[in-house]
Amino acid sequence: MANDPPPNPETPSPAPQPSSIWGGRFDGSPDELVQSYTASITTDLLLYRHDIDGSRAHARMLAAQDIIAADDAAALITGLDQVQREIQDGDFALRNELEDIHMHIETRLAEIVGDDIAGRLHTARSRNDQVALDTRMFVRDAIVQAVGALRGLQVALLNLADANPTVVMPGYTHLQRAQPVLFAHVLLAYFEMLDRDAARFVDAFERTDVMPLGSAALAGAAYPIDRQAVARELGFQDISRNSIDAVADRDFILEYQSAAAIGMVHISRLCEDLVLWSSAEFGFLRFSDQYATGSSIMPQKRNPDVAELARGKTGRVVGHLMALLMTLKGLPLAYNRDLQEDKPGLFDTVETLISTLMVMRGALLTATCNGDRARRAVESDPFILATDYADYLARKGLPFREAHHVIGALVRSCEERDCGLSALTLTDLQAASPLFQADAVGMTVEDALAARDVPGGTAPRRVAQALQEARQRIDVADRNDAKA
Ligand code: ARG
């Protein structure tokens, strides 16, 4: 590779041949440099199945509308079947001069069924509506896949929570110990984030599920086509209402990529917590051997590379969203070749999102929680119940702000005496406030948890209920996803 001379734009390609597909008004082919610069085949090959499905539906409709002969449509469909098999089998040559997947398929089809018949397939169609169709079908599938993979990760979170229902850990704000919470409660926080991510994908599906074929280049096809029939055959709920919009916009990809970017940002936060929890400093969680990695120099290391990479890959998914926003910004109507740049980022987003969700699912399903370490982190903290002491005084009638002040001073005196709040005697407490009574001595973590008995709170009975509801919600969602 390194020794290949760079193509020289000064030297025109030898023996120009008119391009077979759009070459009519040209004397020769574009320069080789132009061909490789403009080609998208190595990327959009991924659309072949959707492209062929779309072409079959189009051919059938053309025949049903008497725009082409039924025999020709039948030959086109058999030919397309063969092309599909060849691509599936990897028995298909990619040629830059054929630009993209659409031209590759049409060219091969012509070799199989002859120019005369193959040449009729593109009646009432342009690559502009064709690529919009293919990409919409691709994104529909990608949405279904994303929702399924999100559900898988949600279930893994629930399993880990179910396996550790009583584990208590410090909840953090500013990464400083704040208040005790149940480990399951923390996992359920991520469950909720992923639930909204799935909802965002489901919502985007409706606007993606719109059939653009029939828009042709930009103005609509000049034949008596039946757009609804094509939509029905390809399982679309709706057809596009404006031909210019249908070929010019890619906001359905933006929606997919936004949902993916938000989802990855959520996963990156989960991963950051997992990385922290699996460190010696925290020690709350251990990744299984299958999901941990070693160091090439330090024999003792067990690294959370999977979670780190998931966190890191968030950057490229967010980047792809930014890239497409920039590509679309200020683009005049209707189709512009800039739009071809929509696909590399989209495809990489799908691949990154799905693989991340799957690998994190495995990581969680095989991880183990060290409840003793987590509890020790709570109990060894001298002031983690400070809010509960303030709440005690407030319940006795002291304004909360004043209670906060009293406990703040108490914490300070504890720091000076090097003891925790739970070590204080009734006399110590009463010196701070006469409202303290015997029941305030030796407040426990369990008291603190049980006190948070509000919907959405960390009281054990609330968390148990939330876990149960989460299971039911997943079941219902699974059923709804299957219906959609
Ligand atoms: N490869 C093109 C794309 O991805 C297909 C549409 C080409 N249309 C055109 N007018 N050159 O956008």
State which of 329, 354, 377 marks the end of a domain.
377
Same domain, 362 and 244: yes
335 close to ligand 1 (CB < 6 Angstrom)? yes
Domain containing 86: what range?
23-123
Judge if the beta carbon of residue 138 lies within 6 A of ligand 1: no
DSSP run (H or E) holding 138: helix 127-163
Is 478 part of a structural domain of the chain?
no
| pLDDT per position as a tens digit, 229-248 | 999 999 999 999 999 999 99
Instruction: Please compute Rg for the chain using Cα positions.
Output: 31
In angstroms, the CA 256 to CA 264 distance is 12
Is 75 within a domain?
yes
Kindly tell me if the per-residue pLDDT of 180 is higher than 90: yes
What does the alpha-carbon distance between residue 301 and residue 292 come to, in Å, rounded to a whole number?
9
Rounded CA separation 201/147 (Å)? 7
Last-in-domain residue among 57, 92, 123: 123
Q: In the chain, pLDDT over 90 holds for what percent of residues?
A: 89
**Average pLDDT of 279-298?**
93
Catalytic residue among 36, 288, 295, 380: 295
Residue nearest to atom 2 of ligand 1 (CA): 340
Indicate whether 181 belongs to any domain: yes
Whether residue 42 is contained in a domain is answered as yes
Whether 337 is in the pocket of ligand 1, judged by its Cβ within 6 Å, is: yes
Between CA 115 and CA 121, with CA 117 as vertex, the angle to 5 degrees is: 105
Cα–Cα distance measured from residue 67 to residue 48, given in angstroms and rounded to the nearest whole number: 25
pLDDT of residue 10: 54
* Same structural domain, 132 and 118: no
Average pLDDT, the chain: 94
**Single-letter amino acid code for the residue at 329:** K
In this structure, is residue 479 part of a structural domain? no
Looking at per-residue pLDDT, the higher value among 18 and 45 belongs to 45
Establish whether 102 is a catalytic residue: no
Mean pLDDT of 387-392: 96
Whether the Cβ atoms of residue 406 and residue 432 lie closer than 8 Å to each other: yes
| pLDDT of residue 20 exceeding 80 | no
pLDDT tier for residue 129 given thresholds of 50, 70 and 90: very high
Same domain, 47 and 174: no
Residues 103 and 135 in one domain: no
334/405 same-domain check: no
Q: Is residue 480 pLDDT above 80, yes or no?
A: no
- Indicate which CATH number applies to the domain containing 29: 1.10.275.10
Assess whether the C-beta atom of 40 lies below 6 angstroms from ligand 1. yes
pTM of the predicted model as reported, rounded to 2 decimal places: 0.94
Q: With a 6 A CB cut-off, is 208 part of the ligand 1 pocket?
A: no
Residue type (1 letter), 222: A
Residues 288 and 403 occupy one common structural domain:
no
Look at residue 99 and tell me if it is in a domain.
yes
pLDDT of residue 294: 87
Task: Give the separation between CA 53 and CA 21, rounded to whole angstroms.
Answer: 21
Query: Quick one: 195 and 180 in the same domain?
Result: yes
Nearest atom, ligand 1, residue 217 CA: 10
Which atom of ligand 1 approaches the CA of 335 most closely?
10
* Same domain flag for 151 and 64: no
Residues 420-428 have a mean pLDDT of 94
Q: Give how many domains the chain has, as a whole number.
A: 3
Assess whether 243 and 332 both reside in one domain. yes
* 405 has catalytic annotation: no
Q: Residues 309-336: what's their mean pLDDT?
A: 98
Distance (angstroms) between ligand 1 centre and the Cα of 428 equals 79
Do 116 and 136 sit in the same domain of this protein? Answer: no
What per-residue confidence (pLDDT) applies to 18? 47
Residue located nearest, by CA, to atom 12 of ligand 1? 340
Statement: residue 19 has pLDDT above 60: no
Asked if the structure places residue 196 within a domain, the reply is: yes
**Per-residue pLDDT band at 360 (split at 50, 70, 90):** very high
98, 123, 148: which is the final residue of a domain? Answer: 123
> What's 303's domain CATH number?
1.20.200.10
- Residue 349 belongs to some domain of the structure: yes
Q: Is 339 in the pocket of ligand 1 (CB under 6 A)?
A: yes
Do 297 and 185 belong together in one domain? yes
For residues 269-298, average pLDDT: 95
Same domain as 434, residue 316: no
Which residue, among 292, 418, 283, 419, has the nearest Cα to 362 in the 3D structure?
292
